[in-house]
Amino acid sequence: MKSFQLKIAGKTYEVVIEEKEANTAEVSVNGKTILVEIEGETKKVSKPAVLPKSLAASSFPKPEPASTGGASSIQAPIPGNILKIEVAAGQEVKKGAVLLIMESMKMENNILAHRDGTIKTIHVKVGDNVLQGNTLVDFE
């Protein structure tokens, strides 16, 4: 397993090559695992390569800004995959109640209510991949 930090258009990405067989590799980018196919021969680069505009950081989805004090929504604290949703729209919850369960880097993380309230909107569904800062749940 090899780990790299890549800087693309000023934004840093954590890239981990987890497994490599023949012409395929399992690669994790900021916690999201993808299977990639390797074409041709691998070459060492002595100077930074210039990326095509289609791969510039501006082409990647940007996380929504996190809310601050008195927030009426919950944002993803880390990138991950939604495993289970424990609440429904219109449901009343108490501070500390488990709202949903996310998986990140093969670990389950409980996302908790930050205050007492009523669930207004759930922005995700089971199986969704989210980035850090994406809105998960809105409160009324």
Give 17: exposed, middle or buried? Use CB within 10 Å, 0-12, 13-18, 19+: middle
The answer regarding whether domain 73-139 maps to CATH 3.30.300.30 reads no
Neighbours of 38 (CB within 10 A): 12
Ordered mean pLDDT values, 10 residues apiece, the chain (140 residues): 72 73 73 72 58 55 46 86 94 92 89 91 93 91
**What residues does CATH 2.40.50.100 cover in the chain?**
73-139
Closest of 120, 135, 20, 23 to residue 77, by C-alpha: 135
Q: Provide the pLDDT for residue 58.
A: 53
